[in-house]
Amino acid sequence: MITTFDAFRKFRTNLELTQKEQDDASRRQKDIREFMDSEFKLEDDFLSGSYRRFTKTKPLKDVDIFCVFHDDERDKYRKNKLPSVILSATEGVLAAEYGAKSVHKQRRSVSIEFPVQGDDERVMSFDVVPAFTIGDHYEIPDTATTKGWTETNPKIHAEKATDANEEFNGEWKGMVRMIKAWNNEKEKPVKPSFLLEVMCLDLLRPPFNGNYPYEFMQLFASAADRIFEEWPEPAKLGPPVSDSMNSSEKTAAQKALKEAGYAIRQAINIERDGNQGEALRTYRNLFGPKFPLS
């Protein structure tokens, strides 16, 4: 029977993007970027978010495409404009291309959904994020803030994730994907999932100790203890990442995190008692069907 260490290693691999997924994402994001460039005058465009940071887990949803509008577009879409102006314009052109039922305006982006028909090796959706440069970083529309625009720098986010992964013996990104898989399996008690990633920047203390269950038991316990704290955006430019949950939602998230920590402890004790199969099933119940039993 597979060992716990090897099961977590296999689980980590199961959450990594396949070549088919990478090819599908590459093809579709290229088409979207070229279309946006044909409809608006863009200064730059690039992939951002967890896909760019290699912390995206499956199913492959909400792949971020950052579209930096040229300054020539500023008077039309930014100067003294509400965030809804640029979001509505982006939604309109994308809906004409991909269909109104597949395109939806969100807080900071416009989502494009693709039918996958049960094939989880294809991209399910992209989020197109319109932006303008501001100094050495960017500003994006944000309908949930009084100001209406949020400053950010996704390139700094990616750098911090890379640094954390190197310090944690190359295991940090895998740990993040796994705890995000837990969050998905439990119907996302922590929102947004990026909050878990931001928390992991502080809570996963290097070096990796080589024992996945104990690392996760500590991580779940620490996250539960600190879920009510304010967690700043990594580039320290925009609003806190923790601003998406109210007090009752954080209470529910804390309960789920504590239960996850208890489940890890239970699995450790079950394995210690010699029932490896039951321990693996406990981990699968916690992390989802991609956690292997053999």
Residue 229 located in a structural domain = yes
Cα 93 to chain centroid distance, Å, stands at 26
Asked which of 106, 134, 152 is the last residue of a domain, the reply is 152
Residue 282 tokens read as 């406990």
67 within 8 A of 33, measured Cβ to Cβ: yes
Same domain (yes/no): 38, 146: yes
Same domain (yes/no): 93, 170: no
Residue 294 located in a structural domain = no
Q: What is the pLDDT of residue 122?
A: 63
Q: What is the pTM of this model?
A: 0.88
Kindly state the average pLDDT of the residues 87-113.
96
Q: Where are the extended beta strands (E) located within 39-155? A: 42-48, 63-69, 103-105, 110-113, 125-134, 137-141, 149-152
How many CA atoms are closer than 13 Å to the CA of 153, on its beta-carbon side?
A: 13
Per cent of the chain over pLDDT 90 is: 80
Same domain (yes/no): 145, 24: yes
> Whole-angstrom Cα distance, residue 58 to residue 200?
19
Asked which of 152, 171, 196 is the last residue of a domain, the reply is 152
12 within 8 A of 54, measured Cβ to Cβ: no
Work out the pLDDT band at 47, boundaries 50, 70, 90: confident
133 within 8 A of 43, measured Cβ to Cβ: yes
Same domain (yes/no): 85, 27: yes
Q: Provide the domain count of the chain.
A: 2
Kindly state the average pLDDT of the residues 75-89.
94
Same domain (yes/no): 122, 235: no
Q: What is the CATH number of the domain that holds 65?
A: 3.30.460.90
Same domain (yes/no): 179, 119: no
Same domain (yes/no): 117, 164: no
Kindly state the average pLDDT of the residues 130-137.
95
Same domain (yes/no): 9, 48: no
Q: What is the pLDDT of residue 120?
A: 57
Same domain (yes/no): 133, 110: yes
77 within 8 A of 141, measured Cβ to Cβ: no
Asked which of 125, 152, 179 is the last residue of a domain, the reply is 152
Residue 293 located in a structural domain = no
Residue 292 located in a structural domain = no
Residue 134 located in a structural domain = yes
> Whole-angstrom Cα distance, residue 180 to residue 186?
10
Has residue 18 got a pLDDT over 90?
A: no
Query: Rounded to a whole number, what is the distance in angstroms from the first to the last CA of the chain?
Result: 6
Same domain (yes/no): 27, 133: yes
Which residue range is the domain that position 24 belongs to? 19-152
Same domain (yes/no): 178, 252: yes
Residue spans of alpha helices (H) in the chain? 4-14, 19-39, 49-53, 74-77, 83-98, 154-167, 172-185, 193-203, 212-226, 247-272, 276-287
Same domain (yes/no): 11, 40: no
User: Measuring CA to CA, which residue among 47, 71, 73 is closest to residue 60?
Assistant: 47
